[in-house]
Amino acid sequence: MATTVTVKVYFEAAHRLHNPAQSDDWNRGIFGKCNNPHGHGHNYVIEAVVRGEPDPESGYLIDMKDLKAVLNRTIVDHVDHRHLNIEVPWLEDIIPTAENLACVFFERATPELPDGVELIALTVHETERNSATYTAD
């Protein structure tokens, strides 16, 4: 019986959507106000969904506090109250859209999960209405 567990963690950060390979006019046209040269901020929510078989003795697939600890250690501790374009080395060559962040965050968290716990989806919510999800293939 496979079960899923979902947790959410939070962070605040600034970013600028800008492709340095393109002109300033192109960037303003594509990214609009998100291309502000000084960046802009979001109160991000990361929602992670894991799947696996619950332990027959504890009933847990993974203790939710342990899953949150993995997300905090691998992601949040590095990005909270930072400018994502400038202060996070592993995001250096990435345009920090919600789509790209979901993919990179998924890749950072996956190897830190215990055996038998599979990350199947990671969603980055930039706002209450805007999010992007990366799923396992």
Provide the CATH number for the domain around residue 53. 3.30.479.10
Structural domain range at position 83: 3-135
Per-residue pLDDT tens over the stretch 73-96 = 999 999 999 999 999 999 999 999
* Domain count within the chain: 1
What percentage of the chain has pLDDT greater than the value 70? 99
Q: Which residue has the tokens 């980055």?
A: 124
State mean pLDDT over 40-46. Answer: 97
CA within 13 Å, CB half, 38: 0
Residues labelled as active-site residues: 34, 81, 126
Q: How confident is the model at residue 1 (pLDDT cuts 50, 70, 90)?
A: low
Which residue in the block uniquely carries the two structure tokens 């993919």? 103
For residue 79, give the nearest of 108, 50, 99, 48 by alpha carbon: 108
Instruction: Kindly report the pTM of this predicted structure.
Output: 0.96
Residue 137 predicted with pLDDT over 90 = no
